[in-house]
Amino acid sequence: MKKIIAIICLVLSTISLYAKEAQDSLLLKIDKRNQTLLDAGSSKRTLREELEIAFSKKGLVLSDSLWQDIRKAIKTDSDGDSSLSVRIGNSQVKIGIFKSGVGNQQSVASSQSTVNSGQWSGKKEEVRVGLDGVHVKDGNEETHVTWDGVYHREGNEVTKVIWGKDSTKIKRPNLYSRRGLNFYLGLNALTGVEPELAIPYPGAPAYVPNFTLDPMGSRYASIEISRFVTLSEGKKSAFRLGYGLEIDWYNFRFDHNRIATKGPNSVQFTTITSSTGKEVAMSKNKMSVSYLTLPIMPHFVFDKKSAVQMIAIGGYMSYRLDTWTKAIEEESGNLRKETSNLYVNPFRYGVRAEFALRHFPDLFFSYDLSPLFEPGKGPEMRGLAFGIRLL
- The 8-class DSSP code of residue 167 comes to G
130 contacts 13 by C-beta, under 8 angstroms: no
20 contacts 90 by C-beta, under 8 angstroms: yes
Alpha-carbon gap, residue 69 to 56, rounded angstroms:
19
115 contacts 130 by C-beta, under 8 angstroms: no
327 contacts 271 by C-beta, under 8 angstroms: no
Residues 6+ apart with CB under 8 A from 281: 257, 329, 330, 331
User: Residue 299, exposed/middle/buried by CB under 10 A (0-12, 13-18, 19+)?
Assistant: buried
Angle at 175 between CA 170 and CA 176, to 5 degrees: 165
Residues 6+ apart with CB under 8 A from 182: 222, 223, 224, 225, 226, 244, 246, 389, 390, 391
Which stretch of DSSP H or E encloses residue 142? strand 141-146
Alpha-carbon gap, residue 323 to 343, rounded angstroms:
9
pTM > 0.75: no
Residue 33: predicted pLDDT: 76
SS (H, E, C) 285-339: EEEEEEEEEEEEEEEEEEECCCCEEEEEEEEEEEEEEEEEEEEEECCCCCEEEEE
Q: Distances from the Cα of 141 to the Cαs of 124, 131, 135, 151, 152, in angstroms?
A: 9, 22, 11, 11, 7
Indicate the SS3 state at residue 385: strand
217 contacts 253 by C-beta, under 8 angstroms: yes
Alpha-carbon gap, residue 304 to 80, rounded angstroms:
75
> What DSSP letter does each residue of 244-274 carry, written as one string?
EEEEEEEEEEBSSSEEEEE-SSSEEEEE-B-
Residue 45: predicted pLDDT: 81
Alpha-carbon gap, residue 179 to 157, rounded angstroms:
36
Alpha-carbon gap, residue 82 to 78, rounded angstroms:
8
Residue 19: predicted pLDDT: 47
Going from the first residue of the chain to its last (391 residues), give the mean pLDDT of each consecutive group of 10, the final group possibly shorter. 48 50 68 77 77 82 82 72 74 76 41 39 63 75 78 74 58 83 94 66 57 88 95 92 96 88 84 82 92 97 92 97 93 89 95 94 96 89 94 73
113 contacts 123 by C-beta, under 8 angstroms: yes
Checking DSSP bridges between strand 91-98 and strand 26-31, what pairing results, if any? parallel
Alpha-carbon gap, residue 321 to 33, rounded angstroms:
95
Q: In what order do the strands lie in the sheet with 149-154?
A: 125-130, 133-138, 141-146, 149-154, 157-162
